[in-house]
Amino acid sequence: MKKSLICSFLAVSGALAVLAGCATGPTRYAAITLNVAHINDHHSQLEPQANATLNLGSEPTRVSLGGFARVTAAMRDIEKSTPNLLKLHAGDAITGTLYYTFFKGQADARLMNTVCFDAFALGNHEFDDGDGALKSFLGELGKGDCKTPVLSANVKPAAGTPIAGVVQPYTVKTVGGVKVGIVGLTIADKTTNSSRPLNSTQFTDEVKAAQATIDTLRRQGIRHIVLLTHQGYDRDVAMAAKLTDLDVIIGGDSHSLLGDFGSLGLRSSGAYPTVVKNLNGETVCVGQAWEYAKAIGLMNVQFDEQGRVAQCGGRAQLLVGDDYARKAADGKWVAMPAAERDALTNTLKSQGAVRVTTPDAQAAQLLAGYSAQVNEQKQRSVGAVAEALCLVRVPGEATNRSASVAGCERANTLARGSDAAQAVAEAFLVAAKRADLSLQNAGGVRIAIPTGGVNMNTAISMLPFTNVLVELSMTGAEIQAALEDAASNHLDNKSSDGSHPYAAGLRWNLDMSKAKGQRFSGLQVKNRSSGAWEALNPQRSYVVVTNDFIADGKDGYTTLGVVNKSGRMLNTYLLYTQSFVDYLSTRNPLKRPARADYSHQNVINAKGEQLID
């Protein structure tokens, strides 16, 4: 056969034509619109958020927001009406609720299988309990008819370790007759420093790994490339400009809400999709879909006959039920009448920022089985305490909150303050891999724990909120300012004394008779390596682990809120209740901390009286 005939025959396959030495011009591809439905960072938030408030129809309205059964329903609806579809999950499927605490990813995996994603990228929190636990989760994800590829091009497990051979750098899907390469990426530094991968599991440079994998796919003749990343919106945008032959980035990690949601009372991080240029100067479409199974993204990418992106489109949508409620004149929330409800639903459908969705029946039934087990698991024994953990908010307070608990008869008169809050702070510090010290507000700890056995329900009653642990990078001066904020909130502002601070790895002298700025003195930090106590250095930077409530500046912790908003916050997504349970179970029976480790050392009350233990 003559070479000209061979070249004509191979013209439809650019890669083969190049190998045959007969490509003389731009390769022609089938013009196609690729549709990508995606979520990220659902963090074991399988149930809907009840009583979420959005501005709907220009009025504050309570709705049921998200839940994985709504994700399943939305994905199935999209599948019915949308050709050339990929369904992607951009990582951090697990950790954050009791569904992970009790089932270690099984519930998440089985709910994910009701969607059957075309690819799942590993997030940093997939490594929170190590490679072995991750393998178990991925094993559940691979069961049944759905075999979701697990991707990360920059995760390199050592041979013979749990996830070796389970994680692959990319997968190739044929969509509308066109092969599409999907490349996974996992944020390297955060996973290494804040999660618990094996030391032998390597995390290579994200940009280098991405380009090397893209080059591998291009050598196979694959022209359409999607990066499925878990590294954050800003990194995605910056990375696009460093890579060649890239078309789409679907991301996670930063929990970014993209699109225009101002009318709903929500702030977004950028446009959906965000349109940038790659190193070739060609268009790249970037998308992310918020968090906690509350939203879904649907991106539409039009490719031209040269295989380049001609246009980016689509939107992210919030998933809500139609059980709307609004405030009546007496301030109570009242269900919306049927006619008004239907009219609002029709309006929302036309606007597009909200997708009114009935939970998928199969997924809801599956979740109900786990919900029943969660309630049963609350009765499970998690350990014991050798000494009562007495509950105090402010040392020297008038009322003994633990009066009925044996061993706590004088708890409110002692300088050390709350045993319970101190133990919680100690648990936080153990749970946080990077932290130098921990900080906990007294009001976040709700009950004392008597001597004896402790079940999960007691732990939840002690720490009942859905808080997670976050890490803040703070100077010593900022740490002292945060302590002063907390005490001032109740001493000066006459607000809740629940703001009063407790800490682990940090101790102080407190004089509540002095003015703000002069109350805390003699601050010392315990070196986690040597165990020695050292003076808090005002200029040095420390990592402080705390709950996300006060890290947001709540309960009077103004300085923490400023640090958070400056970008010096890292969310661990470790459920704070589980952190205490883990601490208790490994120190069974748990004793009170050593007196020298209590945050409160010498204490003078507001009347100028010295407290003693």
pLDDT in tens, 255-286: 899 999 999 988 899 999 999 999 999 999 99
Question: What does the pLDDT read at residue 465?
Answer: 78
Q: Mapping DSSP to helix (H, G, I), strand (E, B) and coil, where does residue 470 land?
A: strand
Q: Mapping DSSP to helix (H, G, I), strand (E, B) and coil, where does residue 579 land?
A: helix
Range of the domain at 417: 379-611
Contact 589, 437 (CB under 8 A): no
Query: Does the residue 12 lie in any domain?
Result: no
Q: Which of 233-247, 493-507, 595-609 has the lowest mean pLDDT?
A: 493-507
Range 300-320 average pLDDT = 96
CA 311 to each of CA 33, 179, 287: distance values in angstroms, whole numbers, following the listed order: 9, 19, 14
Range 54-63 average pLDDT = 90
SS3 content of the chain, % helix, strand, coil (to 5): 30, 30, 40
Contact 100, 129 (CB under 8 A): no
Same domain, 46 and 87: yes
CATH label of the domain that carries residue 339: 3.60.21.10
Q: Which two tokens stand for residue 425?
A: 């702070």
Q: What are the phi and psi torsion angles at 371 (to 5°)?
A: -60, -40
Same domain, 148 and 216: yes
> Given CA atoms 513, 517, 523, 528 in this order, what sign does their dihedral have?
positive
Question: Which H or E run contains 454?
Answer: strand 452-455
Range 352-359 average pLDDT = 94
Same domain, 253 and 139: yes
Same domain, 480 and 517: yes
Query: Does the residue 14 lie in any domain?
Result: no
Same domain, 364 and 411: no
Q: Which of 4-18, 216-230, 419-433 has the lowest mean pLDDT?
A: 4-18
DSSP state of 524: E
Query: Does the residue 517 lie in any domain?
Result: yes
Helices (H), 222-328: 233-240
Query: Does the residue 175 lie in any domain?
Result: yes
Range 132-144 average pLDDT = 93
Q: Which two tokens stand for residue 512?
A: 């509540």
DSSP state of 601: E
CA distance 50 to 31: 44
pLDDT at 553 over 60: yes
Helices (H), 432-557: 456-462, 476-491, 548-551
Same domain, 288 and 431: no
CA distance 267 to 220: 42
pLDDT at 494 over 90: no
Contact 355, 319 (CB under 8 A): yes
Q: Give the pLDDT band of residue 215 (cuts 50, 70, 90).
A: very high
Domain boundary among 352, 375, 398: 375
Looking at the structure of the chain, the number of domains it has is: 2
Q: Which of 52-56, 329-333, 348-352, 405-409 has the lowest mean pLDDT?
A: 348-352
Query: Does the residue 25 lie in any domain?
Result: no
Domain boundary among 350, 375, 400: 375
**Would you call 43 exposed, middle or buried from its count of C-beta atoms within 10 A (0-12, 13-18, 19+)?**
buried
pLDDT at 375 over 70: yes
- Tell me the average pLDDT of the chain: 92
Question: What does the pLDDT read at residue 26?
Answer: 63
pLDDT per position as a tens digit, 410-453: 999 999 999 999 999 999 999 998 999 999 999 999 889 999 99
Same domain, 160 and 195: yes
Q: Which two tokens stand for residue 275?
A: 């349109």
Query: Does the residue 199 lie in any domain?
Result: yes
Q: Give the pLDDT band of residue 25 (cuts 50, 70, 90).
A: low
pLDDT at 491 over 80: yes
Query: Does the residue 321 lie in any domain?
Result: yes
Query: Does the residue 568 lie in any domain?
Result: yes
Produce one character per residue of 567-603: b if its CB has 16 or more CB atoms within 10 Å, e if not: ebbbbbbbbbbbbbbbbbeebeebebbeeebbbbbeb
CB-CB neighbours of 27 under 10 Å: 17
pLDDT per position as a tens digit, 153-191: 999 999 999 999 999 999 999 999 999 999 999 999 888
pLDDT at 14 over 80: no
CA 59 to each of CA 55, 62, 158, 248, 327: distance values in angstroms, whole numbers, following the listed order: 5, 10, 55, 36, 9
CATH label of the domain that carries residue 569: 3.90.780.10
Question: What does the pLDDT read at residue 403?
Answer: 80
Q: Give the pLDDT band of residue 390 (cuts 50, 70, 90).
A: very high
Contacts of 142 (CB under 8 A, 6+ apart): 148
Q: Which two tokens stand for residue 397?
A: 């307070």
DSSP state of 157: P
Q: Give the pLDDT band of residue 7 (cuts 50, 70, 90).
A: very low
Q: Name the percent of the chain lying above pLDDT 70.
A: 96
pLDDT at 565 over 70: yes
Question: What does the pLDDT read at residue 71?
Answer: 98
Range 214-238 average pLDDT = 97
Domain boundary among 351, 375, 399: 375
Q: Give the pLDDT band of residue 195 (cuts 50, 70, 90).
A: confident
Which residue shows structure tokens 């049927």?
Answer: 338
Same domain, 368 and 426: no
Same domain, 128 and 83: yes
- CA 456 centroid distance within chain: 23
Same domain, 456 and 530: yes
DSSP state of 52: E
Same domain, 451 and 338: no
Same domain, 350 and 387: no
Contact 542, 568 (CB under 8 A): no
Question: What does the pLDDT read at residue 2?
Answer: 44
